[in-house]
Amino acid sequence: MDKNKVLEIVKKMCDTIMAEHTPVISKKWAYEAGLTLKGFEAVYKLTGEKKYFDYIKASMDYFVTDDGEIQFYDMQKYNIDFINNGKCLLYLYAETGEEKYRKAIETLETQLKGQPRTESGAYFHKKIYPNQIWLDGLFMAEPFCAQYARDFNHTENFDDIANQFKIAAASTYDERTGLYVHACDESRQAFWADKVTGKSKNIWGRACGWMAMALGDVLDFMPKDHPRRDELIGLLKGLLERVVEYQDPEAGVWYQVLDSRRRGNYLEASCSCMFTCALAKAIRNGYISEDYKPALEKAIDGVFKEFVTYDDTRADLNKICYVAGLGPEDNPKRDGTFEYYMSEPVVSNDNKGNGAFILMCAQYLQ
């Protein structure tokens, strides 16, 4: 894929988002907004166009008061998703030095200190999901934790960060595929969980995508001489090697349920962008062999062919799974079956896809 064309389209997508979501990306403290704003950060660093930085700042300033309080955020829910926007706060604090961002960062760190944990030591995904470990949570919390540890000199935290990955990987590993199921309930009580292993039933593409991106992002901040760095590199390498085996040989992208070719399964944009982003970063940083460059190029071409539409005025990302989860008890539809993952809406321009696409383009352009 021509890199000038990639840059043109990713800028057009950022401009489309700003035009349609103004003056801020979201009026909810939503993790997908933070994901997309991290993409804006990457595009700003590539282009130097200040409008992208200004949009990040305006979108976070909607929530963060001059006193450093976070409006429309409820710590007592102990929702790990709420941590993701903290990555934007860390960036803004580093860029501006404004004290309000530091105070807001410490609020999120306080949540993590109180976040309930499973018996093995993993964070609950949410307070309403007791004893449950979701792969999504690795992306929501651990890169924030790693950057906080580096920026605020709490390097002792890196052992716990490594443990979060170790526990999640061990709890969700699927021996048949070498991949990871969406989640695990350590108590084996959730209606969707296997009564022996506690695992959910399927390999959801975006869950593995969150895990792959989280590993690459944490390694950006982990000291090069940390004794557990190689452990995380090995986990990322193994995951990506297996992911590439499930890349569609013709389309170059990946399916909603990663390992299945059952009727009704579909090529899905967000996980495809996440895997492509993680591959690009892993190859560039030497975590995985350059032998995987053909898979990366095939994936880039596939994402643009399968999912992206654009014209002179805008760019759009299509075929995004709108949402997928497991439970809670009063939502039995979300049972982790193949049929459930096929039942959720497929949409265009959702930030879970757009954010991954923008980050993917930025990694590829580097």
Of 183, 175, 179, nearest to 326 (Cα)? 183
**Cα 351 to Cα 158: distance, rounded to the nearest angstrom:** 29
Residue among 241, 236, 261, 242 nearest 251 (CA):
261
In the chain, what is the greatest distance between 2 CA atoms, to the nearest angstrom? Answer: 55
Find where tokens 């389209």 sit. 9
What are phi and psi for residue 184, nearest 5 degrees?
A: -145, 140
Phi and psi at 48, nearest 5°, equal 70, 10
Strand pairing partners for 64? 70
By DSSP bridging, strand 320-321 and strand 179-180 are unpaired
Of 333, 364, 356, which Cα lies nearest the Cα of 208? 356
Spatial separation of the C-alpha atoms in residues 270 and 117, rounded to whole Å: 29
d(CA 259, CA 156): 38
CB 156 within 8 A of CB 172: no
Using the structure block, give the residue that is written with the tokens 């062919």.
305
Omega within 30 of 0 (cis) for the link into 23: yes
Distances 320 to 77, 129, 140 between C-alpha atoms, Å: 27, 25, 19
Question: Do β-strands 308-310 and 183-185 pair in parallel, antiparallel, or remain unpaired?
Answer: unpaired
* Contact between 116 and 78 (Cβ < 8 Å): yes
Residue 248 falls in the annotated catalytic set: no
Nearest-angstrom CA–CA distance, 54 and 51: 5
Give bridge partners of residue 132 from the DSSP assignment.
185
List residues bridging with 179 in a β-sheet.
174
User: Of the listed 136, 185, 217, 350, which one is catalytic?
Assistant: 136
Active site residue ranges = 136
